[in-house]
Amino acid sequence: MARVLLAQTALDDRHELVASHALPPDAPRRVARALALLERHPDAGLALGARWAGYRAWRGPWPWMLHVYEHDAATETVVVVTVQDSRRSTAPDPAG
């Protein structure tokens, strides 16, 4: 079972999205539940390409919330490196 960690940049991104999108106070708990599947299936997210090659993307708990992560199979660790609003033109595109 993989450990799921959020890098400081991802925590900062999440905090900014909670504020800018007026998300409910339980947003961190909802995010944790959305990421829990990655503990059992760390490669469940879509592989990203181009400048994000080597990373994967997972959505939730809101359909627009995109978690970009890398999975280190040797240490069984998933590290979320950023959390983005996928509707922004600057967000990584899991569709390619």
Q: pLDDT > 70: what percent of the chain?
A: 98
pLDDT of residue 96: 56
Q: Which CATH number fits domain 3-85: 3.40.390.10, 3.20.20.70, 1.10.3720.10, 3.30.2310.20?
A: 3.30.2310.20
In this prediction the pTM is: 0.91
The whole-number pLDDT of residue 89 equals: 86
pLDDT digits (tens, 9 = 90+) for 50-90: 889 999 999 999 999 999 999 999 999 999 999 999 999 88
Three-class secondary structure assignment of the chain: CCEEEECHHHHHHHHHHHHHCCCCCCHHHHHHHHHCHHHHCCCCCEECCHHHCCCEEEECCCCCEEEEEEEECCCCEEEEEEEEECCCCCCCCCCC
